[in-house]
Amino acid sequence: MTKRQILTLISIASVNFSSMICYSILGPFFPNEAVKKGASQTVIGLIFGCYAICNLLGALILGKYIVQIGAKFMLVMGLFVSSVCTILFGLLNRVPAGAAFISLCFIVRSVDAVGFAAAMTSSFAMTAKIFPNNVATVLGSLEIFTGLGLIMGPPVGGWFYQSFGYEVPFMLLGCFLLVMVPFNIYVLPVIEAEPSKDSFLRLLMKTKIVLLCYVIFTLSAGLGYLDATLSLFAIDTFGLSPGYVGLIMLGLSLPYCLASPLLGYFTDKYPVTRSWFMVIGGTATGIGFWFLGPAPFFNISSHLWLLVLMLAIIGFSLGMTAIPTFPEIITCAYDLGYEEGLSTLGMVSGLFGAFWSLGMFYGPIVGGLITQNLNFQWAAVVQGSLAFLGVSRLLSVPLRIFQVVADSHCVKKYMVKGNPENQISGDLFLYGTSRFIIYSG
């Protein structure tokens, strides 16, 4: 590994960790604090959701113009904006309850979302550019730091809130994020590239990319729903304090953190397994959400051990589903004739971030509405059903995503030996390093 690659890994790891720890501190205590300030469950969902919609717009725009802006500049400025907004969010408890508090929550979260979009879009693109042959492995390894941020955010935020009040967690973590700015200015390499004339729309003309984008949407929708509703459910159902709610959230992030590097390495070494991972992971995610409440039609009462177990299953299965999607979209983009450069990687990163944000917008808002009008259990059923729908769509086109159908006795299709470098269109699909071309017409 070269010095440039090592420095990039250190930089991106610091970005992932610092950004995610600041993002995740809200879960254990903010919904309860917002209720005290006059916000309903639906409004709380909208506050979480506005972050996602602004992240969506930011990811699309910044991903398109990453070359013109500069990847390093985009990442550093994104960190700076996010750090300032985190500190400002910690001062909102001094704002009067009602419309003033709610309005400022929306404003600060929206600006913070654009900063977060800049940092993460740039980090994904730079990682794929510098590690073109090991994208899933490197992203999976970096997800350790994403997971650590998600792991530490809720318990640290919940403990500081319980011990010192509302302001302290935001001030400490905002300052920590601010320290990452000069560090990344020094460490991060500059990447020169030429802008591309390709567009997002052409990417979305490929059915497989649309399907992968839906998978990304379902993953983030589930996480967004949990952000907005899990803490209140745990407090009301089990009488837990915000600090213990933060510990419960470890059940979600710890399995994801530990499994991601192994999943990334495996899917890079055996690319054909990516589709299987997405199907199995999506199925496990759906089951996890249905038993999280659990679903009313199971006639099972809520238990704390069951809640933690299902969170662990969801966390692991999210890794199985999420890690393969980014390299798969990159592969599809190159198959469409996109240039192998930072501009294409920026667009893929922006597309990934946009659909992730769309799910983060949908999850808290729809989850909050269902929870407010029905209950947490039915909202979890809806999130699980989204995952099952994604699995059904993957299984509806098995020949297009599973190389294992090369075993001729399993299907009544045609196979011909082909060159893995060939470009194929129409109903012919080539599976990366596969030695067969499967006709699915």
Domain ranges of the chain: 3-187+199-396, 408-439
d(CA 420, CA 400): 15
Q: Is the peptide bond before 294 cis (omega within 30 degrees of 0)?
A: yes
Structure tokens at 358: 């769309």
Local confidence pLDDT in tens for the 441 residues of the chain: 777 778 778 888 888 888 778 777 876 778 888 888 888 877 887 887 788 788 888 888 888 888 888 888 999 999 999 999 999 988 988 888 888 899 999 999 999 989 988 988 888 788 877 777 777 778 778 877 877 777 777 777 778 888 888 888 888 888 888 888 888 888 777 777 666 666 667 888 888 888 888 998 998 888 888 877 888 888 888 888 777 877 787 788 788 888 888 888 888 788 888 888 888 999 999 999 999 888 888 888 888 889 999 999 998 998 888 888 888 888 888 888 877 777 777 788 788 888 888 887 888 788 878 888 888 889 999 989 988 988 888 776 544 444 444 433 333 333 334 444 444 333 333 333 332 333 333
Given strand 428-430, what is the order of strands in its sheet?
Answer: 414-417, 436-439, 428-430
The pLDDT of residue 407: 38
d(CA 293, CA 367): 13
d(CA 133, CA 13): 19
d(CA 163, CA 97): 22
CA-closest candidate to residue 90, choices 172, 27, 180: 172
CA-closest candidate to residue 249, choices 232, 220, 227: 227
d(CA 116, CA 57): 12
The three-class DSSP label of residue 300 is coil
Q: 337 in the Ramachandran plot: left (φ > 0), alpha (ψ -120 to 50) or beta? A: left
DSSP for 365-424, please give it: HHHHHHHHHS-HHHHHHHHHHHHHHHHHHHHHSHHHH-GGGGSGGG-S-EEEE--TT---
d(CA 201, CA 354): 13
Identify the CATH class of 3-187+199-396. mainly alpha
**C-alpha separations of 231 from 96, 242, 380 in Å:** 24, 7, 14
